[in-house]
Structure formats: C-alpha cells, structure tokens
C-alpha cells in the first residue's frame, strides 16, 4: 500500500470535497454568470463556497476572490499592489527564499527599475523581525513575505510588515503568501495586517485548479487579466465551479488548527526521535517550524536518487519543492548549507491522514537508505 508523504506538493482530495465537486459537475453544473435558473443555482453555490473559505480566514465573503491557482493569486497580488502604489515609491521588501511565484515576479520588477530588498533568513530559516523594520522606509510600496516556507516549514514573523510600515510612515501594502500555512495554523489576514493574502485549495484536500486571494475591504486593485470581469475583475473567466465547491467543502471540514498541530507535532517528534541516532541523517528544518514539513538530508545519496529509492518501496516524498524542477534549492543555499548536504536533501510533508505506521515505515526505509551508502565525513 502506498504511503503518501508529499502533502506540501499536493494533498489527497477529502471525501467531502470530492462529493461537492462531483455534484457541481453532474447536478449543479451551470455557469454562475448565466441568468436562468441553472445559472442562479450555480451562483448560489459560488457564494456559499466563498462564505466557507472566508469563515476560515475570519474575513468578509466579499474579501475573498477565487483564482485558478495559488501561483496566479501570488502573481496578481504583487502586480496589483505595485500598480496601486507605483507613484509613491519604488522599494519592495521581500525575502530571498520566496516561492518562485513571488520570486520570479520580483526579478521582473527589478529589471524594470524597482528597488527589490531581499531579506536573508536567519539560521532558523525565518526572516529577522528587526531586519523587516530596518528595510522598510517611506519609499516602500510593498512588503511581500511568505508565512510558512514551502521547503523547510520555517514560520516568518509576517505581522512585523505592518508594524514596519507604520513606523516608517509608509503607504506600502502588505502581501502574505499563506499557501503552506492555510489550514495548518490559524491564518487571519486582519490580525497579521495583510492587505492581500494568497491561499490554495489543493494544499488542504480540495481539488487542484483553485486558489483564492484575500483583498482587504476598501482596496480596489487594477486588473491585468481582461475578460468578463468575474471575481471583481481580477480573475476574469468562467469560474471553475467543481474545484471551488470542493474548496469550500474542504474548508468546512478543516480540523481546529491547534488540535491539528498537536497531532502533527507528535508525528514529527516520533520521526525525529527514531532518526536522531543516525549520523548520516541531518535535519534541515528548524525546531520551531510548522510540524507538517520536515526537510532532511541523507548524506551521500543525491536527492532524486533518494526519491526513487523511497518510491520503489511505496513511499512518496519529494526532493524539496515540487516547483524547483531539479534545480538546487535556493532556500537551503541561503541557509548556508554545504552543496553536498543540499544535494542530498528531501522533504517529508504530513497531513491529517498520516499515521504513526506511515512514520515508522518511512524511518525503516530511511535507515535502509543510510546503510546502503558509503559513509563519508561531510
């Protein structure tokens, strides 16, 4: 039986989400923009799903806009924020370990002349709050930080973005990439001072093909995708109703984040305790990381070889982020790890469906992999 430990890449669709998606495909299949009864029912489903997502965020339903993915939500937030504030300055504060859906947009903005300040993480993988405070000045127009790092699980102090903006008397907007955090910890955009906040369905047991962007009430971001004007004009195009319905259903059955984290911490502790006496296995995630994500290196074997080794034994893990496409991890590089350690890194990511038996079997295979290596000092 397959053991799935790659939940930061995607998750199995939960039964409630699958049922909701199927119903939207076979029963309530109308276009929400249509004015006939079938369309009206679809529109009602759309708004009910929006309310369910908004409830988890502690947001107003009208502040939640559905996007085709988390990547598109991130791109849209950054571009919209810059366009809204471009006449007030040119500085953008972010980190050097953002997801590519933010990092590559920053590269493009830098090429256009914007002053991109990329804060380097501390040894624990998170950005220093003091550096956020020091980086923001009156010319800053955007602070964009990820809540939880997708490779290491490090938790950033994103609430300091708003504090820094106030201290600098800046008009900057705040964007938080909460795609890995949402559903695993309490994510409340108002509490952390976010103007924009991105989330994704397939990270929380909803179908792929749907994300959402929180836009603080009162903001009117300009669109850069033109069409029928759906989702307040930010994401034109007929809504992916099966995925949206599944997203709403998945949100409705999310466990309490505190309870969920307690369970994840127990599984993480079990895994780390069993691996702690193996000298060739090093843990790259910080001790205070989100417990769902454990990045480690099994020294002496390349990451992709390890992924294949585990896969042959029925265990699915990843060689870091699923978005890296085989490139050396920028995140682990920024943390100062040696190339050998980086090149033998793997990511294990848990979900509420992960069991102690899954952890124990992973440990068995990790020990097997370690024993098959020629031990070298690194």
CA-based nearest residue to 158, from 178, 139, 179, 182: 178
Question: CA–CA separation, 205 vs 334, rounded Å?
Answer: 31
Say if residues 155 and 186 touch (Cβ distance below 8 Å).
no
Task: Tell me how far CA of residue 157 lies from CA of 74, 122, 359, in angstroms.
Answer: 19, 12, 30
Question: Which residue is catalytic, options 223, 251, 316, 323?
Answer: 323
Is 223 assigned a catalytic role?
A: no
**What distance lies between CA 145 and its chain's CA centroid?**
11
CA-based nearest residue to 68, from 273, 323, 242, 300: 242
CA-based nearest residue to 166, from 191, 131, 192, 137: 137
Q: Bin 24: left if φ > 0, else alpha if -120 < ψ < 50, else beta.
A: alpha
Tokens read off for 134: 């020091």
Number of H helices, E strands in the chain: 13, 12
Question: CA–CA separation, 120 vs 136, rounded Å?
Answer: 15
Residues with active-site annotation: 323
């Amino acid at each position: 039986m397959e053991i799935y430990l790659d939940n930061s890449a995607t998750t199995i669709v939960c039964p409630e989400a699958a049922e909701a998606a199927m119903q939207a495909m076979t029963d309530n299949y109308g276009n929400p923009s249509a004015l006939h009864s079938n369309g009206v029912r679809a529109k009602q489903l759309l708004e009910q799903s929006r309310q369910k997502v908004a409830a988890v965020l502690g947001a107003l339903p009208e502040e939640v806009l559905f996007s085709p993915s988390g990547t598109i939500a991130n791109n849209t937030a950054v571009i919209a924020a810059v366009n809204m504030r471009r006449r007030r300055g040119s500085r953008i504060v972010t980190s050097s370990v953002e997801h590519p859906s933010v990092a590559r947009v920053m590269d493009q903005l830098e090429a256009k002349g914007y002053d991109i300040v990329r804060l380097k993480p501390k040894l624990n993988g998170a950005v220093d709050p003091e550096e956020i405070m020091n980086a923001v000045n009156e010319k800053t127009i955007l602070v964009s930080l990820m809540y939880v790092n997708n490779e290491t699980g490090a938790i950033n102090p994103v609430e300091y973005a708003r504090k820094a903006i106030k201290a600098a008397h800046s008009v900057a907007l705040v964007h938080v990439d909460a795609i890995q955090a949402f559903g695993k910890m309490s994510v409340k955009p108002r509490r952390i001072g976010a103007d924009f906040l991105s989330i994704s369905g397939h990270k929380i047991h909803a179908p792929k093909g749907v994300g959402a962007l929180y836009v603080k009430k009162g903001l009117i971001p300009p669109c850069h995708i033109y069409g029928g004007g759906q989702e307040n004009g930010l994401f034109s195009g007929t809504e992916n109703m099966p995925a949206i319905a599944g997203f709403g259903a998945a949100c409705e059955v999310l466990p309490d984040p505190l309870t969920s984290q307690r369970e994840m911490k127990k599984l993480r502790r079990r895994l780390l305790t069993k691996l702690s006496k193996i000298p060739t296995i090093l843990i790259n995630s910080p001790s205070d990381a989100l417990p769902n994500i454990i990045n480690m290196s099994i020294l002496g074997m390349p990451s992709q070889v390890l992924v294949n080794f585990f896969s042959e034994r029925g265990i699915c893990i990843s060689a870091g982020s699923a978005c890296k496409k085989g490139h050396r991890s920028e995140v682990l590089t920024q943390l100062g790890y040696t190339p050998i350690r980086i090149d033998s890194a793997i990511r294990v990511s848990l979900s509420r469906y992960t069991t102690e038996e899954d952890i124990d079997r992973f440990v068995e295979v990790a020990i097997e992999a370690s024993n098959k290596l020629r031990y070298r000092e690194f």
